């Protein structure tokens, strides 16, 4: 605790930000809070930084953001003579501030900066890096976390999230820096920054439009859509793309329309959860809409509810991915050797669909960065044209190669196109999913999370790793893979093939104190049995 107190005093002495300094002064008698703020430093990883906004080494603030940026600048300047970086930010509290502070540091380090003049979705940042031929990109966002969080995501020259080896090198540079004394800051950056021109965003939207499959589907269409950006970045570009494809009946949730980092109408702005749809469904009921579409604050994830038998039914990330892939396979002219890239934990039904259409499936570890890495491999081997779909069950989708991260702008457009296409056949997404299940003989999946403390999560995983484990809840283990020990890309993931064609995957969340469980099986009863046993036994 003495070292922690010493660090606390060092910050108080050197801070120039009066608001943050006051924040620290208020906890001077609170040893527990001082420890929480200073017992460790934020670890810079493949997703950059993410934490609660607060003063201290274990928080997101102007000092930790500047330090990370200085580390990034030092790394880039070691490997390149000239560098440029694109920076964008979302609607969260302090996101614009952190973007500008990053800009000041980079400019003082002789790095050219392209900064967005307003909030933008994460996929736009990926596009900017590629379009402007930058060596890196910074996205200030904490995605769908609570309002008190913010983050700092780093992208490579290809527009994908940085790999572990690059993250480690940047972190080594960060570790060398005194957070107050070693940071270079430009005080008149406005005269030296390059603000991104409007025509670049139009270019991005044109790339999104190229992802359409049936371009005339909105002719004589009466599709009615409710949309909410959940007070994030999606409103401008998503509504613009809806207008460009010819959607006439669009209703936007008024209280969630404009940017607001407080997220007052939706505490946890994540379209993976039905609770976020409350206001959207209310508006849909008033307007007799067919579908409700939500995008998360940085507009890289999308969720939907669909009208079915006078009620709005929530669709899982797997179900949305299955619908999009089915639409692609049935209606798009496929390349000679089509490739689908999905995460390991996403629905196994994707594999069965791919087999029928002679598509190759590449399975990767969780995280869309791994999908981006595989797209890059295709590009380097002149097989980029073979890519048709990238998919992760946590509501992330990509159908083109113009960006290298999940894109909720293009996914929202395709969802509307699909809905209009099927409505003309008197079908909704529930009907289509039922038809898909019949076609592929009912392959079922269920994903869920258990909120547990980290100690209990570690204990559960340790017990499951025991070599003498023969069965899990009366299901005999046929095959076991531990991705922590036996694979090139290591990850804390356990994969079990069980009897009766049941697949079980278990992993801890990378950002929250949760144990994530994924079940795939031919029989729906097996899925329910396993899920219920886990919930009952582990809680």
Q: Which residues are catalytic?
A: 143
Angle, in degrees to the nearest 10, between helices 62-79 and 164-175:
110
Helix locations, 228-277, DSSP H: 235-245
Dump strand ranges (E) for 248-338. 249-252, 291-295, 302-308, 311-314
Here the tokens at position 460 are 């559960």
Quick one: which of 9, 47, 269 has its CA closest to 152?
47
Rounded Cα distance, 347 and 434, in Å: 16
Residues 417, 422, 424, 427, CA torsion sign? negative
CA 445 distance to own-chain centroid? 21
DSSP-derived pairing of the beta strands 444-451 and 494-498 = unpaired
Give dist(CA 40, CA 382) in Å, integer.
45
Question: What values do phi and psi take at 139, rounded to 5?
Answer: -120, 120
**Rounded to 5 degrees, what angle do the CA atoms 368, 374, 376 make?**
105
Q: Classify the C-alpha dihedral 408-414-417-421 as positive or negative.
A: negative
Contact 301, 271 (CB under 8 A): yes
303-342 in b/e form (b: 16+ CB < 10 A) is bbbbbeeeebbbbbbbbbbbbbbbbbbeebeeeeebbbbb
Distance separating alpha carbons of residues 416 and 109, to the nearest angstrom: 45
β-pairing verdict for 224-228 and 291-295: parallel
Secondary structure, 3-state, 165-229: HHHHHHHHHHHCCCCCCCCCCCCCHHHCCEECCHHHHHHHHHHHHCCCCCCCCCCCCCCEEEEEC
Q: How far apart are CA 380 and CA 66, in angstroms?
A: 34
Nearest by Cα to 300 from 406, 152, 150, 151: 406
Q: Name the 3-class secondary structure at 41.
A: coil
Which residues does residue 271 pair with via DSSP β-bridges, in sequence order?
Answer: none
Query: Pairing relation of β-strands 291-295 and 311-314?
Result: unpaired
End-to-end Cα separation, the chain, in angstroms: 34
Listed in sequence order, the residues at least 6 apart from 303 whose beta carbon sits closer than 8 Å to its beta carbon are: 271, 272, 273, 276, 277, 293, 294, 295, 314, 315, 317, 320, 395
């Amino acid at each position: 605790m003495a070292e922690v107190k010493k660090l606390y005093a060092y910050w108080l002495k050197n801070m120039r930000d009066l608001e943050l300094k006051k924040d620290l002064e208020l906890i001077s008698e609170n040893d527990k809070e001082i420890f929480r703020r200073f017992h460790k430093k934020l670890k810079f990883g493949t997703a950059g930084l993410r934490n609660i906004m607060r003063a201290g080494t274990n928080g997101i603030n102007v000092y930790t953001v500047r330090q990370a940026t200085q580390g990034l600048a030092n790394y880039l300047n070691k490997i390149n003579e000239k560098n440029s970086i694109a920076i964008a930010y979302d609607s969260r509290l302090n996101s614009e501030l952190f973007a500008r502070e990053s800009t000041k540091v980079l400019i003082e380090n002789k790095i050219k900066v392209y900064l967005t003049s307003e909030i933008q979705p994460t996929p736009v940042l990926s596009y900017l890096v590629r379009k402007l031929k930058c060596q890196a990109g910074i996205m200030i966002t904490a995605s769908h976390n609570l309002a008190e969080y913010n983050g700092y995501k780093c992208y490579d020259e290809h527009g994908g999230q940085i790999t572990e080896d690059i993250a480690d090198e940047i972190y080594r540079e960060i570790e060398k820096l005194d957070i107050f004394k070693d940071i270079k800051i430009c005080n008149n950056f406005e005269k030296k920054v390059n603000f991104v021109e409007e025509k670049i965003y139009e270019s991005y939207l044109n790339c999104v439009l190229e992802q359409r499959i049936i371009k005339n589907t909105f002719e004589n269409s009466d599709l009615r859509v409710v949309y909410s950006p959940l007070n994030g970045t999606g409103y401008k570009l998503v509504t613009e793309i809806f207008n460009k494809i010819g959607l006439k009946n669009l209703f936007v949730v008024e209280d969630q329309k404009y940017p607001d980092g407080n997220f007052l109408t939706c505490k946890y702005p994540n379209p993976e959860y039905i609770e976020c749809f409350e206001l959207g469904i209310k508006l849909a009921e008033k307007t007799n809409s067919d579908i409700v579409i939500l995008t998360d604050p940085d507009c890289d994830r999308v969720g939907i509810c669909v009208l079915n038998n006078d009620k709005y039914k929530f669709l899982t990330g797997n179900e949305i991915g299955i619908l999009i892939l089915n639409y692609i396979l049935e209606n798009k002219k496929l390349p000679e050797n089509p490739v689908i890239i999905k995460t390991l934990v996403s629905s196994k039904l994707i594999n069965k669909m791919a087999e029928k259409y002679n598509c190759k499936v590449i399975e990767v570890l969780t995280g869309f960065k791994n999908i981006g890495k595989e797209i890059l491999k295709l590009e380097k081997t002149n097989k980029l044209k073979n890519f048709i779909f990238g998919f992760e069950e946590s509501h992330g989708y990509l159908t083109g190669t113009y960006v290298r991260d999940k894109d909720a702008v293009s996914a929202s457009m395709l969802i509307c196109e699909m809905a209009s296409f099927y409505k003309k056949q008197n079908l909704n997404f529930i009907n289509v999913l039922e038809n898909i299940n019949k076609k592929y003989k009912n392959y079922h999946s269920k994903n869920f999370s258990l909120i547990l403390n980290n100690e209990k999560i570690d204990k559960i995983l340790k017990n499951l790793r025991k070599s003498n484990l023969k069965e899990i809840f009366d299901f005999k283990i046929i095959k076991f893979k531990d991705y922590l020990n036996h694979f090139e890309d290591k990850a804390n993931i356990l994969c079990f093939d069980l009897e009766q064609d049941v697949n079980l995957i278990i992993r801890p969340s990378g950002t929250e104190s949760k144990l994530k469980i994924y079940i795939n099986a031919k029989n729906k009863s097996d899925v329910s049995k396993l899920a219920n046993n886990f919930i009952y036994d582990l809680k």
